[in-house]
Structure 1
Amino acid sequence: METSKTHHRHFIIYKPYGFLSQFKSHDSKQQSKNFLGALHDFPEGIMAIGRLDEKSEGLLLLTTDGKMSDYINSRKVEKEYYAQVDGAISAEAITKMSEGVEIGFNGKKYQTKPCTVFALESIPELPSRSKKIRDERHGPAPWISVTLKEGKFRQVRKMTSVVGHPTLRLVRVRVGDILLHKMQPGDVVEVDDLRV
């Protein structure tokens, strides 16, 4: 993709749990929040390509190139999430999610588009989270993979809740061809390009 001759900078980060996907506070209510600017000395004009809510973690792409951001967002690039859910999730619930479910979005009903959902056969190798999650003593807490090409606010959480299995932990592990790999929460890697 052609961009202007301006030298833009691009980063891949592991957004930790409890951080907002922005770089500084926009109002006084957010003063006590954690912002991405605390992780690294990012350049002026940096922006997140898509967002992860405060309680979600994992792969987040950052750029100073607005055209690149628009390009990736408009291409409907696949985003894969690992979600740990509350309770033994049935094949029927997984099928419902993959076919599309009705969630609330901006005060209206929204039908999610078909997507890829499957149960993970083993617990994914992820860093432990700063805030503890309930353990198996309180009932099953299996992991599923959810791959979307859309990204409504808190969409995966809303989808698992609709089928009766609230999300306990949510980690984005892939955006297009870019993988989280062995990154740790708070890791920041500068890259030459964001080919997704």
Structure 2
Amino acid sequence: MKHRYILLYKPYRVLCQFQDQEGRSTLKDYVPIPDVYPAGRLDYDSEGLVLLTNDGWLQHCLTDPRYGHPRTYWVQVEGEPTPAALQQLTEGVVIQGYRTRPAIAEILNPEPSLPPRNPPIRYRRHIPTKWLSLTLREGRNRQVRRMTAAVGFPTLRLVRVAIANLQLGDLTPGEWREILPAERQALWQSCGRRFDQRA
């Protein structure tokens, strides 16, 4: 079986699966390739990078917390995060009785240039917003949103821009591409697999 490795910019309000009983938009609306599945999830109301593959070994590697692969998100939050809030995000915060692993949290300056979201976030003239870069090595359900809320700055928009060495790059919402051999090699090496091995 030939392994496929697809990078998709998942749009807002698209389920990170190929079927939905309620008729909502799914990955099937964007990726016409059979028998590939997302390596990890991205919430319905989040956007950005999803890796789709039929390589079960790699799917396991990327979703197993033991490997601790980094995932980077650009997060638009309500308000202007303080140094203390950034420090909390970096050291870990308690959400649902669990302390998150240490992360990398920085204010993005200048703000990122992203395609407009449809529908756009609600604009409130008297409440400022800021964009953060947040890199995690774990992926619990709605973790980024819960982390920023825990330090007092709710998430308004969330875009995943990197998974391990894979980057969102120039993809726009709904676009996809095959990963390059060099990207696949670096990804396999991060999991301890040689490039010339076959799963």
TM-score with structure 1 length normalisation? 0.88
> Which is further off, 126-135 or 150-159?
126-135
Aligned to 2:161: 173
Matches within 5 A, 1:1-196: 6-25=1-20, 28=21, 31-44=22-35, 46-74=36-64, 75-104=67-96, 109-135=97-123, 137-191=125-179, 194=184, 195-196=186-187
Gaps of 5+ in 2: 188-199
Deviation at 1:122, TM superposition (A): 1.4
- Post-superposition Cα deviations, 1:65-119, rounded to whole Å, max 9, x if no partner, equal 1111112223221100000000111111110111000112xxxx11101111011
> Which is further off, 73-82 or 145-154?
73-82
The answer to whether the 8 A contact 1:9-1:192 is kept is: no
Letter of the 1:15 counterpart:
K
Gaps of 5+ in 1: 1-5
For 1:61 and 1:178, the matched residues in 2 are separated by 9
For 1:182 and 1:80, the matched residues in 2 are separated by 16
Deviation at 1:40, TM superposition (A): 2.2
TM-score with structure 2 length normalisation? 0.87
For 2:126 and 2:173, the matched residues in 1 are separated by 26
Compute the RMSD of aligned alpha carbons. 1.3
Deviation at 1:10, TM superposition (A): 1.2
For 2:180 and 2:86, the matched residues in 1 are separated by 38
For 2:13 and 2:23, the matched residues in 1 are separated by 11
Identical amino acids, percent of aligned pairs:
40
Task: Give 3-state SS (helix, strand or coil) of 1:14's partner.
Answer: strand
For 2:34 and 2:19, the matched residues in 1 are separated by 13
